[in-house]
C-alpha cells in the first residue's frame, strides 16, 4: 500500500481514497509515507451517521474489519453504538461475502439479509455494509436501512474536489 501511495503522489494525485474497508487498518502507517491527504472511510461513515442522528447501528463486515474495530472506534467518537453479529452469525456474514465474490449473488444476499435482519431486530437503526461486496446484494428496504461506506466516501471525495477547485489547487 505504501508503494502504491508513493506512486500516486508522484503521479500528482491531490488526495487518496482507499476502497477496501479492511485496508483502513493500515491507514496511519500509510499516511506517514506521503504528504497528500488520505480519506478515512470509517471516519467519514461515522460522521455521516452522526449527521443523520443514528445512535445504534449494526455492522456487517469481514472478520478482519470486525477484529480491527475500525467502525467501532470511529463511531465511538460520536457515541454511536455499533452492534456486531454473534460469532455464529459472523460465519453467515463471511459465507455471504464469499458467495458474492464467487458470483453466487442470491446465496450471498440470503446470508447477509439474515444477519442484517437479526441486528435490526436487536435494535440497530441501520446496517453499515462494511465490505465492498455487501452492497452488491444487500439494499435498503422498508425494514432495513443499509449504509454504504463506499458511497459516503465517494460523495465526500466529490465535495473535496469542489473545495480544491474553489481554492484553485
Catalytic residue positions? 20, 131
Cβ pair 19, 135 in contact under 8 A:
no
| Residue 107 β-bridge partners | none
How many Cβ atoms from other residues are within 10 Å of residue 86's Cβ? 12
Nearest residue to 89 (alpha-carbon basis) of 53, 126, 55, 61: 61
Q: Which helix (H) or strand (E) holds 87?
A: helix 87-101
Distances from the Cα of 122 to the Cα of 1, 44, 92, 108, 114, angstroms: 37, 25, 17, 22, 12
Amino acid at each position: 500500500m505504501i508503494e502504491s501511495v508513493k506512486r500516486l503522489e508522484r503521479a500528482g494525485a491531490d488526495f487518496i481514497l482507499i476502497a477496501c474497508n479492511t485496508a483502513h487498518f493500515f491507514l496511519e502507517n500509510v499516511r506517514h509515507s506521503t504528504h497528500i491527504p488520505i480519506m478515512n472511510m470509517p471516519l467519514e461513515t461515522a460522521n455521516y451517521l452522526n449527521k443523520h442522528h443514528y445512535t445504534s447501528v449494526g455492522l456487517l463486515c469481514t472478520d478482519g474489519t470486525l477484529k480491527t474495530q475500525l467502525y467501532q472506534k470511529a463511531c465511538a467518537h460520536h457515541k454511536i453504538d455499533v452492534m456486531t453479529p454473534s460469532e455464529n452469525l459472523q460465519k453467515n456474514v463471511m459465507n455471504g461475502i464469499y458467495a458474492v465474490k464467487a458470483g453466487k449473488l442470491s446465496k450471498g444476499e440470503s446470508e447477509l439479509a439474515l444477519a442484517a435482519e437479526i441486528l435490526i431486530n436487536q435494535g440497530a437503526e441501520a446496517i453499515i455494509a462494511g465490505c465492498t461486496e455487501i452492497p452488491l446484494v444487500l439494499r435498503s428496504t422498508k425494514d432495513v436501512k443499509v449504509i454504504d461506506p463506499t458511497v459516503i466516501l465517494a460523495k465526500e471525495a466529490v465535495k473535496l474536489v469542489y473545495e480544491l477547485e474553489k481554492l484553485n489547487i
